[in-house]
Structure 1
Amino acid sequence: MSIETTPASTPDPEWERLVAGLADKVDSPLLQKTADTPVNRPDLLGDTPLTPEWVRTSAGWRTRAAVGKVNSTRAFRRWVRRQGGEHGHGAQLFRGMRRTFLWVQGTEGVQVATARREVQQAQADYKTAKWGHDKRLLPGPEKNKRRVVMEKAFAGSVTAMGKYKSAQKDARTRRAIRGTLAAAAVAVPEGAGIYLIGGTGGVIATGSALLALALIGRRTMGGELYDDHDVKFGDTLKLTDSMLNKVYRDAKVIGGDEVVELLTPCTLTADGKAWEVTLDLPSGTPLKKALTAKTGVASALGVKVQQLHQAPGDREGRLQMRVSLHLPFTGKPTPGPLLAVDCVNLWLAIPMGVNLRGQGVSTSWVERSGLFGGEPGAGKSAAANDLLLAAALDPTVALYLCDGKAGADITPFEQIAAMYDTDGDPERLLEILEHIWTVEIPRRRALAKEHGSRKLTAEMAGKDPRVNLAVLLVDEWSSYGAAADRKVREELERLLRLIVQQGRALGIITLCATQKPDADSVPSGIRDILSIRWAMRCLTPQASDTILGQGYAAAGHNAQDILKSQRGVGIYMDGEGAEPELTRGYYYDDDEVDLILGRAYELRAKAGTLPAGSVSLSEQLRAVDDDGARVLAALLDAFDAHVGDDEMPSEWLPGAVLVDALVAAGTPLSADSLGRLVVRTDDEKGKRPWQGSRVVGYPRSRVLITVRDRFGLGE
Structure 2
Amino acid sequence: MSIETTPASTPDPEWDKLVSGFSADPAEKSAGPVLQETANVPVNRPDLLGDMPLTPEWARTSTGWRARAAVGKVNSTRAFRRWVRRQNTEHGHGAQVFRGMRRTFLWVQGTEGVQVATARREVQQAQADYKTAKWGHDLRLIPTKEKDRRRREMETAFAGSVTAMTKYRSAQRDARTRRGARGALVAAAVAVPEGAGIYLIGGTGGVIATGSALLALALIGRRTMGGELYIDREAKIGDGDRLNEEMLNRVYRDARIISSDAVLGMLTPCVLTADGAAWEASFDLPSGTPTEKATAVVPALASGFGVTKAQVSQTGGDREGRINLRVSRKIPFTSGPVPGPLLHVERFDLWNAVPMGVSERGESVATEWFEKTGLFGGEPGSGKTSIANNLLLAAALDPTARLFLGDGKAGNDLRPFADIAEAIDTEGDPAALLRILEHVWQVILPECKRLAREHGVAGFSQALAKQDPRVRFTVLAIDEWASYMAMAEPKVAKELERLLRLIVQQGRAYGVIVLAATQKPDADAVPSGIRDIISTRWAGRCLTPQASDTILGQGRAKLGFNGQNILKDQRGVGFYQTGETADPTLMLSYFYDDGRKSGVNEVALLLDRAFELRAKAGTLPAGSVPLVDQLRALGDDQANILAGLVDAFDVRSDSEGRPAEWLPGAVLIEYLAASGMDVSADALGRLVVRTEEDKVKRAWEGSRVLGYPRSRVIATVRDRFGLGE
TM-score, structure 1 normalization: 0.58
Q: Does 1:65 align with 2:69?
A: no
Residue 205 of structure 2 aligns to a residue whose secondary structure is helix
Distance 1:234 1:453, change over 3 A: same
CA distance in 1 between counterparts of 2:358 and 2:674 reads: 53
- The equivalent position to 1:600 in structure 2, one of 598, 610, 615, is 610
Q: Name the residue aligned to 1:221.
A: none
Matches within 5 A, 1:86-235: 200-203=202-205, 231-235=235-239
Residue 591 of structure 2 aligns to a residue whose secondary structure is coil
CA distance in 2 between counterparts of 1:398 and 1:538 reads: 32
Q: Does 1:267 align with 2:271?
A: yes
Q: Name the residue aligned to 1:301.
A: 305
Deviation at 1:576, TM superposition (A): 2.4
Residue 438 of structure 1 aligns to a residue whose secondary structure is helix
Q: Name the residue aligned to 2:412.
A: 408
Matches within 5 A, 1:554-633: 554-590=558-594, 591-616=601-626, 619=629
Residue deviations 1:588-615, cap 9 Å, x none? 1110000000000000000000002431
Residue 514 of structure 2 aligns to a residue whose secondary structure is strand
Q: Does 1:352 align with 2:356?
A: yes
Residue 559 of structure 2 aligns to a residue whose secondary structure is coil
Q: Name the residue aligned to 1:334.
A: 338
Distance 1:243 1:462, change over 3 A: same
CA distance in 2 between counterparts of 1:289 and 1:50 reads: 37
Deviation at 1:445, TM superposition (A): 0.6
- The equivalent position to 1:467 in structure 2, one of 453, 471, 481, is 471
Q: Name the residue aligned to 1:642.
A: 641
Residue 361 of structure 1 aligns to a residue whose secondary structure is strand
- The equivalent position to 1:365 in structure 2, one of 346, 369, 382, is 369
Larger radius of gyration: 2
Distance 1:620 1:255, change over 3 A: farther
Q: Name the residue aligned to 1:545.
A: 549
Q: Name the residue aligned to 2:170.
A: none
Residue 351 of structure 1 aligns to a residue whose secondary structure is strand
TM-score, structure 2 normalization: 0.57
Q: Give the gaps of 5 or more residues in structure 2.
A: 1-87, 91-97, 111-197, 213-229, 595-600, 647-669, 677-725
Residue 202 of structure 2 aligns to a residue whose secondary structure is helix
Residue deviations 1:251-284, cap 9 Å, x none? 1011111100111111111221101111111111
**Structure 1 runs, 4 residues or longer, greater than 3 Å off:** 61-64, 66-70, 196-199, 204-210, 226-230, 616-621, 635-644, 660-666
Distance 1:643 1:350, change over 3 A: closer
CA distance in 2 between counterparts of 1:279 and 1:265 reads: 9
| Equivalent residues of 1:618, 1:637 under 8 A apart | no
Residue deviations 1:76-96, cap 9 Å, x none? xxxxxxxxxxxxxxxxxxxxx
Q: Name the residue aligned to 1:245.
A: 249
Deviation at 1:234, TM superposition (A): 1.8
Q: Name the residue aligned to 1:314.
A: 318
| Equivalent residues of 1:287, 1:316 under 8 A apart | yes
- The equivalent position to 1:254 in structure 2, one of 254, 258, 269, is 258
Residue 439 of structure 1 aligns to a residue whose secondary structure is helix
Residue deviations 1:307-366, cap 9 Å, x none? 100000011111000000000001111110000001111011110000100000000110
Residue 254 of structure 1 aligns to a residue whose secondary structure is coil
CA distance in 1 between counterparts of 2:331 and 2:201 reads: 57
CA distance in 2 between counterparts of 1:391 and 1:245 reads: 49
Q: Name the residue aligned to 1:285.
A: 289
Instruction: Kindly provide the amino acid, as one letter, of the partner of residue 642 in structure 1.
Output: I
Instruction: Kindly provide the amino acid, as one letter, of the partner of residue 410 in structure 1.
Output: L
Distance 1:411 1:637, change over 3 A: farther
Instruction: Kindly provide the amino acid, as one letter, of the partner of residue 620 in structure 2.
Output: L
CA distance in 1 between counterparts of 2:104 and 2:406 reads: 80
CA distance in 2 between counterparts of 1:446 and 1:282 reads: 58
Q: Name the residue aligned to 1:132.
A: none
| Equivalent residues of 2:641, 2:672 under 8 A apart | no
Q: Does 1:512 align with 2:522?
A: no
Q: Name the residue aligned to 1:103.
A: none
Question: Between Structure 1 and Structure 2, how many residues are aligned?
Answer: 447
- The equivalent position to 2:390 in structure 1, one of 375, 386, 391, is 386
Distance 1:207 1:360, change over 3 A: farther
Distance 1:67 1:304, change over 3 A: farther
| Equivalent residues of 1:279, 1:318 under 8 A apart | yes
* CA-atom RMSD in angstroms: 3.5
| Equivalent residues of 1:365, 1:509 under 8 A apart | yes
Instruction: Kindly provide the amino acid, as one letter, of the partner of residue 641 in structure 2.
Output: H
Matches within 5 A, 1:437-448: 437-448=441-452
- The equivalent position to 1:483 in structure 2, one of 480, 487, 498, is 487
Matches within 5 A, 1:40-79: 65-66=102-103
Instruction: Kindly provide the amino acid, as one letter, of the partner of residue 418 in structure 1.
Output: E
Residue deviations 1:45-91, cap 9 Å, x none? xxxx999xxxxxxxxx9999249868xx9xxxxxxxxxxxxxxxxxx
Residue deviations 1:528-551, cap 9 Å, x none? 111100000000111000000000
| Equivalent residues of 1:397, 1:470 under 8 A apart | yes
CA distance in 1 between counterparts of 2:381 and 2:99 reads: 71
| Equivalent residues of 2:419, 2:623 under 8 A apart | no
Distance 1:544 1:63, change over 3 A: closer
CA distance in 1 between counterparts of 2:342 and 2:614 reads: 16
Deviation at 1:200, TM superposition (A): 2.4
CA distance in 1 between counterparts of 2:322 and 2:200 reads: 62
Instruction: Kindly provide the amino acid, as one letter, of the partner of residue 205 in structure 2.
Output: V
- The equivalent position to 1:533 in structure 2, one of 523, 537, 548, is 537
CA distance in 1 between counterparts of 2:356 and 2:444 reads: 27
CA distance in 2 between counterparts of 1:68 and 1:611 reads: 98
- The equivalent position to 2:499 in structure 1, one of 495, 502, 506, is 495
Q: Name the residue aligned to 1:116.
A: none
Q: Name the residue aligned to 1:426.
A: 430
Q: Name the residue aligned to 1:193.
A: none
CA distance in 2 between counterparts of 1:396 and 1:353 reads: 24
| Equivalent residues of 1:404, 1:479 under 8 A apart | yes
Distance 1:661 1:228, change over 3 A: farther
CA distance in 1 between counterparts of 2:550 and 2:511 reads: 26
CA distance in 1 between counterparts of 2:494 and 2:104 reads: 83
Residue 579 of structure 1 aligns to a residue whose secondary structure is coil
Distance 1:209 1:358, change over 3 A: farther
Deviation at 1:643, TM superposition (A): 6.4
Deviation at 1:620, TM superposition (A): 9.0
Distance 1:289 1:613, change over 3 A: closer
Distance 1:290 1:343, change over 3 A: same
Residue deviations 1:87-139, cap 9 Å, x none? xxxxxxxxxxxxxxxxxxxxxxxxxxxxxxxxxxxxxxxxxxxxxxxxxxxxx
